[in-house]
Structure 1
Amino acid sequence: MSPGTVATTLVLSFICLATTASNILVFVAVGYSRNLRTVSNTFIVSLSIADILLATVVMIPATLNQVYGHWVLAQGFCSIWASFDVMLCSASVLNVCAISFDRYLAIISPLRYKALMTFRRALLLLAVLWIVAILSSFVPITNGWHNPDVPSLVNLTMFTSEAQCLLIVSLPYALLAGTITIMLPIIIALVLYFKVSEEARRQALFVRTLIAPSRVLLGQDVSSKSVREPFTRKATVTLGVIVGAYVVTWTPFLITNIVDAACTCVPPKLFTAFVWLGYCNSLINPIIYPLLMRDFRKVYMKLLLICCPRLKFLKKKSKEVLQKDIEKAFVNGHSQSNGIKSDSV
């Protein structure tokens, strides 16, 4: 193998392994902590299912394609692999859309949220999303509707002497599938995100008007930023990062796929790069949770301490050092204040 092939193998293998492990950790965290078994986290678990399947069923064969330069698996698996590729990418963005809708209900109707979004309704919504993803992938691809002018995917040697598995779609299918499974859900997720952001700001301003008189009497700062920020950050940052990450990672592929279906003028390496950029979204999602969601962060820390007991000693030691530093700073400050008083007297 050339150095470039070795580097590509290592990078893509790391992406596959890290995506699988990080999303499995989401399952472990939800199974370990009863506090994480909420209706909202049902959508996160569903997103992790899509990401795990994408990392194993889709990304591993895609890695083999890049390493060997041709299709090395069974011919019959080619159409199945291509169908899973489209289905899981569609399911991922539809789950992001469902997360946005769930957060929208929680912010717009906080008192009625538990009645509106029950576990049964959440599972029903997820079932509909997965059915849409299946109907937009397996049905047209296995029947050849994705491109009637191109031979079946089973004919793996239509371009080179070596076996190839290429999903070449027609422009109508690229527009229809891209609009239904990627573009429309992204637009809905963005609209819901901005609705959530506006509602969070409105509620923060309402709370500010209620507590402002008491703050004035107490002589405290009542600037809009100091009062509004805690409310808006908790309600919008996590959702904004999830939606933003999906837009950044999948929009280039959406545009490139439509352009390539229209003119067949996109360089293969560029097209493949945008495909893998979209795959990387499945790695980003489980990283967002511990960074921005306190409940997941606490459970991850507990699991880390269980797996690595030695970290408990380091954590305890750091707390002792921090406590000593605080006590030392307090003593020094107290001594300096006494010195100032004695000098002034």
Structure 2
Amino acid sequence: MSPEQILLGTILSFFIITAILGNILVIIAIMTDRNLRKSGNFFLVSLALADTFVACFVMTFAMFNDVSGRWQFGPEFCKLWMSADVMCSTASILNLFAISLDRYLHIRSPLHYDSWVDHHRVLMVVAAIWLMSALISFLPIQLDWHTLKTPKTTTSTSYYINNYYNSNNNSLELNPTYAVFSSAISFFIPCIAMTLIYFRLHQYARRHVIKIKMSNKSSSSSAPLTTTATAVANNNHTLTTLTTATTTSSQYKTSDHKAAVTLGIIMGVFLICWAPFFTVNVVGAFCRCVPNLTFGIFTWLGYVNSTMNPVIYGIFNRQFRDAFQRVIAI
């Protein structure tokens, strides 16, 4: 192997190992920490599971393919690999959509949230996400609905998923209809809906923060009067109860705001990582004008997203950071 191949393999292996360990850490933290073991966080477990699958079953074989410069695992396994890639990327974006909707419901209607979102409903939604992701990936790819023609030989397969238009190695050609349909279902439509939901969520979160600040100012300005009144009325127990309830409510809304900020960062990073790939995926199916190197860089930029979420949780969410430290310390 050349020094360039060794360097490339080392860099890509780092991303793969980081993605596997980081997302397994997220899953263990949620399942073992009482504060994180909430119904809505099961969507985060599903997202981490999708990212773990990307690292194990997609990125690993893509690394061998890119380092060696050719596919070595046969045409049938190539179709399975491509199906797994489409399924996991679709599951990731649909899980993110579910997470944004869950946070919106939590901050929009906190009194009804627990009755709407329970373990049973969340597991049903997660199952539906994975079923839809599998149908949009394995079914058309295994039935060759995604191609324009069948390869002339069985010794050559595509260099990258969906990069089927290189006639020099008899690669499959991507059907433009499938390119548009799969990209729309897997990325563009959920992203538009998710962005609209997050915009509304962010509005509610800001309103809550303003209410908390106004409540704190009001409490501070009325503190002497409250103290005198309670001394005269001898109603310390009631005051303590009201103060505790107000503090709990403020902490609850502050936690919602922090969760909204973390979700916004996760969504932003996801869009930055995957938008270039899905754009060239559609463009390349029509004009056959995207260079292999460009397509490869954008593909790995999308893969790298699988390593980012655990880092984001650890930096911007204290609950996850504390849970990570407890898990690592065991």
TM-score when scaled to structure 1?
0.79
Structure 2: runs of 5 or more not aligned? 160-167, 225-249
Q: Deviations over 1:264-303 (max 9, x none)?
A: 1111011010000000111001211122222211111123
Q: State the SS of the aligned residue for 1:266.
A: coil
Alignment match, 2:308: 284
Residue 159 of structure 1 and its aligned partner are, at CA, apart by 8.7
Q: Does 1:155 pair with 2:154?
A: yes
Q: 1:207 to 1:31 in 2, by over 3 A?
A: closer
Contact between 1:200 and 1:235, CA under 8 Å: does it hold in 2? no
> 1:126-165 residue pairs with structure 2 within 5 A?
126-147=126-147, 149-151=148-150, 155-157=154-156
Contact between 2:71 and 2:158, CA under 8 Å: does it hold in 1? no
Residue 153 of structure 1 and its aligned partner are, at CA, apart by 9.6
Alignment match, 2:232: none
TM-score when scaled to structure 2?
0.83
Alignment match, 2:237: none
> 1:255-334 residue pairs with structure 2 within 5 A?
255-306=279-330
Residue 76 of structure 1 and its aligned partner are, at CA, apart by 2.2
Alignment match, 1:206: 211
Rounded Cα–Cα distance in structure 2 between residues aligned with 1:95 and 1:159: 28
Alignment match, 2:273: 249
Residue 166 of structure 1 and its aligned partner are, at CA, apart by 5.2
Structure 1: runs of 5 or more not aligned? 220-226, 307-345
Percent of matched pairs sharing the same residue: 37
Q: Deviations over 1:109-166 (max 9, x none)?
A: 111111011111111111111111111111111111112x221598343799xx9795
Q: 1:126 to 1:152 in 2, by over 3 A?
A: farther
Q: Deviations over 1:37-70 (max 9, x none)?
A: 2112100110111111111111111001101111
Rounded Cα–Cα distance in structure 2 between residues aligned with 1:165 and 1:81: 18
Q: Which structure exhibits the higher relative contact order, with contacts defined as CA atoms closer than 8 Å and separated by 6 or more residues? A: 2
Q: State the SS of the aligned residue for 1:150.
A: coil
Q: Which amino acid aligns with 1:276?
A: W
Q: Deviations over 1:206-230 (max 9, x none)?
A: 34444443434569xxxxxxx9x95
Rounded Cα–Cα distance in structure 1 between residues aligned with 2:152 and 2:114: 47
Contact between 1:156 and 1:164, CA under 8 Å: does it hold in 2? no
Q: Does 1:105 pair with 2:110?
A: no
Q: State the SS of the aligned residue for 2:145.
A: coil
Choose 1 or 2 for highest CA Rg. Answer: 1
> Alignment RMSD, CA only?
2.6
> 1:1-345 residue pairs with structure 2 within 5 A?
1-147=1-147, 149-151=148-150, 155-157=154-156, 168-216=173-221, 233-306=257-330
Query: Which has the larger displacement, 67-76 or 116-125?
Result: 67-76
Alignment match, 1:316: none
Q: State the SS of the aligned residue for 1:71.
A: coil
Rounded Cα–Cα distance in structure 2 between residues aligned with 1:159 and 1:233: 45
Aligned length: 296
Query: Which has the larger displacement, 63-72 or 203-212?
Result: 203-212
Query: Which has the larger displacement, 293-302 or 40-49?
Result: 293-302
Residue 29 of structure 1 and its aligned partner are, at CA, apart by 1.6
Alignment match, 2:165: none
Q: Which amino acid aligns with 1:270?
A: T
Q: 1:188 to 1:291 in 2, by over 3 A?
A: same
Q: Which amino acid aligns with 2:12?
A: L
Q: 1:122 to 1:25 in 2, by over 3 A?
A: same
Q: 1:47 to 1:158 in 2, by over 3 A?
A: closer
Q: State the SS of the aligned residue for 1:15.
A: helix
Contact between 2:75 and 2:156, CA under 8 Å: does it hold in 1? no
Contact between 1:15 and 1:283, CA under 8 Å: does it hold in 2? yes
Contact between 1:103 and 1:196, CA under 8 Å: does it hold in 2? yes
Alignment match, 1:325: none
Contact between 1:93 and 1:185, CA under 8 Å: does it hold in 2? yes
Contact between 2:43 and 2:126, CA under 8 Å: does it hold in 1? yes
